[in-house]
Chain A
Amino acid sequence: MSAISFQSVTKTFQTPKGPLTALDGVSFDIQEGEFFGLLGPNGAGKTTLISILAGLAKASSGSIKVNGIDVQGEPLKTRKLLGIVPQELVFDPFFTVKEALKFQSGYFGVSNNAQWIDELLVGLGLSDKANSNMRQLSGGMKRRVLVAQALVHKPPVIVLDEPTAGVDVELRQTLWHFIDRLNKAGHTVLLTTHYLEEAEALCQRIAMLKTGRVVALDKTSELLKAASSNVLRFKLDAPLPDELAKVARVTGRIVQLPAHNAEQIEAYLGSIRLAGLVAEDVEIRKADLEDVFIEVMGESS
């Protein structure tokens, strides 16, 4: 049985400018124990899909099942199976970290879980903040508490909606270490993120969303194989020749060009030389998930 099954999920919002389709027939399954990545640019519909899964919004049509249970039909049952880390950095300013975790446990009907709460605090590096008021915490610390709150009831399915947006390297390390441990212990993980290297490192399978549709769905390794196998990377101080600018990914001085073979690399370097430019720090590397992402998003437009 799938941990999560999305079946033709469609969501249309009524806006002053007319109906807006945020999700357009999204279907895919996440297997039990899987570490699954949901990627897509802003506005692709990732958060809407998670909101419907969480019962915060209703699908216009289609259905979502968690461990075979329909989220719209029996929301109280599915919410118990889910641990959702919301994207917004929200907190209740009245309480301490420990109080927030105890109340959250209580809402799920869980008591006497002091040991697990301590484990969460240690695992997420929150031990010395346990009795601090939520208001006094930094953004990164608040994010850790959000993760802990989602896990108080030991949910079999963990959903993280951009948990590392705007957080420092240390937290990302702590968080991934902890989530990886839970995944190895059998928890299913659904992750949305903008950091594609994270998705590449962590996710066994990936779905890519664009304007509410699934445009890629495969094992991470297969997606990488299918993409242009190599990338020519160099630094350049002047603008690129036009024929290269069309295909290049440029980040400041860094230019990256997709290359399928040696001739193509020769041709790229030839155009640079012809234009009288000098490429510095030239290297050839394997394509990564970011290259795949850009290629998929480009193709489907």
Chain B
Amino acid sequence: MMGWQALFYKEILRFWKVSFQTVAAPVLTSLLYLLIFGHVMADRVKVYDTVSYSAFLVPGLVMMSVLQNAFANSSSSLIQSKIMGNLVFILLAPLNHWSWFVAYVASSVVRGLAVGSGVLIVTVLFTDISAVAPLWILVFALLGATMLGALGLIAGLWSEKFDQMAAFQNFVIMPMTFLSGVFYSIHSLPPFWQTLSHLNPFFYMIDGFRYGFFGASDVSPWLSLGLVSAALVVVSSVALSLLKSGYKIRS
């Protein structure tokens, strides 16, 4: 077994042992969003001609769950290990920055996809939805989860206390996910907010993901693919260089 595999497996087991909290709870939350928003807004929002609001909402909720849980996994694991002091076990091991990166990010992808699949399975029971282009769905889910896993890694390295982590989550991740078109099409927004949304990489993740279900989207899935990939390269490079320099973990 290679070092990174052991760390990857440890990270998987860590969230799986508390799966009620890490997988079941976010699935329930998304279901509540669907039932409440889907019911209240069903007659008021019409995005695409052939798509009901509930059906429109489902991919957004699935992707939001993927993103938030991928972020939560790497970030909470790192901050907990830092505060408990048990990060030392990994620091003492002969693992290079790539091993850390692959293990933390891949396990976050697994959690993100696990929760996302859970949300999809449950919500499909309440809506009529089909997948036009499943490959796009998979590609955007993977890219999004990887990017958020890497962002979680950065947040986990940067934070020294739980409240700094909470600040990162509440002031960066939450606004970016909510302002990305989970609950609405950005065409329904005033021009200023539309422009702002176009600067948000999360928008392209959700838009591209949604394309896989409906074959229709706000921008071309190829443009989304390009921009999301570029954002992923930037975020991963930052995470890798922080790991390589031992930022806030080696003095």
| A/B interface sample: 16 pairs, CB < 8 A | A51-B251, A54-B92, A55-B91, A56-B88, A57-B251, A90-B86, A90-B89, A92-B86, A94-B14, A95-B13, A100-B89, A102-B6, A106-B1, A106-B6, A107-B89, A107-B94
B28 interface residue (CB < 8 Å to A):
no
What's the nearest-Cβ distance from chain A to residue B72, in Å?
Answer: 15
How many A residues face the partner with a CB closer than 8 A? 35
A91 interface residue (CB < 8 Å to B):
yes
Q: B-facing mask of A238-260, CB < 8 A → 1, else 0?
A: 00000000000000000000000
Contacts of B132 in A (CB 8 A): none
Q: B-facing mask of A72-112, CB < 8 A → 1, else 0?
A: 00011101101010101011111100011011111111110
Assembled-state Cα–Cα distance A79/B1 (Å) = 17
Q: A-facing mask of B60-92, CB < 8 A → 1, else 0?
A: 000000000000000000000100111011111
CB closest residue in chain B, given A111: B1
- Of the four ranges (under 10, 10 to 19, 20 to 34, 35 or more), the interface on chain B belongs to 20 to 34
Chain A stretch 272-299: residues in CB contact (< 8 A) with chain B: none
What's the nearest-Cβ distance from chain B to residue A81, in Å?
Answer: 9
Contacts of A77 in B (CB 8 A): 94
Judge whether B90 and A93 touch: CB under 8 Å.
no
4 further interface pairs, Cβ-Cβ under 8 Å (given A86-B92, A106-B7, A109-B3): A57-B251, A58-B250, A92-B81, A104-B93
A149 interface residue (CB < 8 Å to B):
yes
In the complex, which of the residues B81, B89, B251 contacts A149, with contact meaning CB atoms closer than 8 Å?
A: B89
Contacts of B9 in A (CB 8 A): 103, 106
CB closest residue in chain A, given B7: A107
Assembled-state Cα–Cα distance A200/B9 (Å) = 43
Judge whether A90 and B84 touch: CB under 8 Å.
yes
Judge whether B251 and A56 touch: CB under 8 Å.
yes
In the complex, which of the residues A58, A82, A92 contacts B84, with contact meaning CB atoms closer than 8 Å?
A: A92
Chain A stretch 94-151: residues in CB contact (< 8 A) with chain B: 94-95, 99-100, 102-111, 149-150
Chain B stretch 1-57: residues in CB contact (< 8 A) with chain A: 1-3, 5-7, 9-10, 13-14, 17-18
